[in-house]
Amino acid sequence: MMELRDVDVRYAKPPVHAVRRLSMTINSGEIVAILGKSGCGKSSLLRAIAGLEPATGQILLNGRDISALPTHRRKVGMLFQDGQLFPHRNVERNISYGLEMIDMSAAERRERVAQMLEMVGMAGYGKRAISTLSGGQAQRVALARTLAVRPDIILLDEPLSALDRLLRLRLGEEIHHIVQKSGMTALYVTHDREEAIAVADQIAVMDGGELIGMGTYQEMRERTSVPIIRDLLS
């Protein structure tokens, strides 16, 4: 479970109050999509959770306060828009990258990589060069690499936005299945309503750095009195 308590993110140059005392709880095994227009603070919130941006407030992960910890000690996995795969490594060596940083034998790494390839539907692709993969395949490999090290939570920052709409929706449903199968807790940023519906158990709407509302898609659709929720989900 992750708890955010009054998380606040400010930038000095130019002066921007990106996230405004935001509080939220994400239950273990749950996928929450953060939906909002560009510039609403979605990505800044994810970067603060990962330790990539300075923030005030508290970030608790499974009861552990990680607010002051450096990124590498937070047990947070992050998947970016472009996946950031290493072009000089093949598929299996990309997935094993994080495993090489921890105390794991070569045999254990091979077994874990094979498990991840199976989970993301890419068994048999281990020796393939990254340059031979489609955009959807590359994002599956990036997801496998993120999940391989067993983080406590995975943060996905518009991971499908570079793909065409039909592929985004299909892969969004696959990511939902993969993340649920792994038992992972996930926070998924998007500006696309249909993608949020396909991926998430709950949807959190942000506007102007603030959390406007959070609930299931059906619960949020009923909040027609809130203009930004109506605009994003109707």
- Number of domains into which the chain is organized: 2
214 and 174 in a common domain:
yes
70 and 155 in a common domain:
yes
179 and 113 in a common domain:
no
pLDDT band at 166 (very low <50, low <70, confident <90, very high): confident
Please indicate, yes or no, if residue 22 is contained in any of the structural domains. Answer: yes
Final residue of a structural domain among 150, 172, 196:
150
27 and 55 in a common domain:
yes
Output the pLDDT for position 83: 67
Please indicate, yes or no, if residue 80 is contained in any of the structural domains. Answer: no
Mean pLDDT of 74-83: 86
111 and 63 in a common domain:
no
Mean pLDDT of 127-138: 94
Instruction: Render pLDDT for 30-54 as a digit per residue (tens, 0 to 9).
Output: 999 999 999 999 999 999 999 999 9
What's the pTM?
Answer: 0.91
Please indicate, yes or no, if residue 162 is contained in any of the structural domains. Answer: yes
211 and 104 in a common domain:
no
176 and 67 in a common domain:
yes
The percentage of the chain sitting over the pLDDT mark of 90, rounded to a whole number, equals 76
Final residue of a structural domain among 150, 172, 188:
150
Final residue of a structural domain among 115, 133, 150:
150
Closest CA to 150 of 122, 182, 180: 182
61 and 145 in a common domain:
no
Instruction: Render pLDDT for 169-208 as a digit per residue (tens, 0 to 9).
Output: 888 888 888 888 888 899 999 988 998 998 999 999 999 9
69 and 23 in a common domain:
yes
161 and 135 in a common domain:
no
Please indicate, yes or no, if residue 17 is contained in any of the structural domains. Answer: yes
* Domain around 16: 2-75+151-233
98 and 53 in a common domain:
no
99 and 38 in a common domain:
no
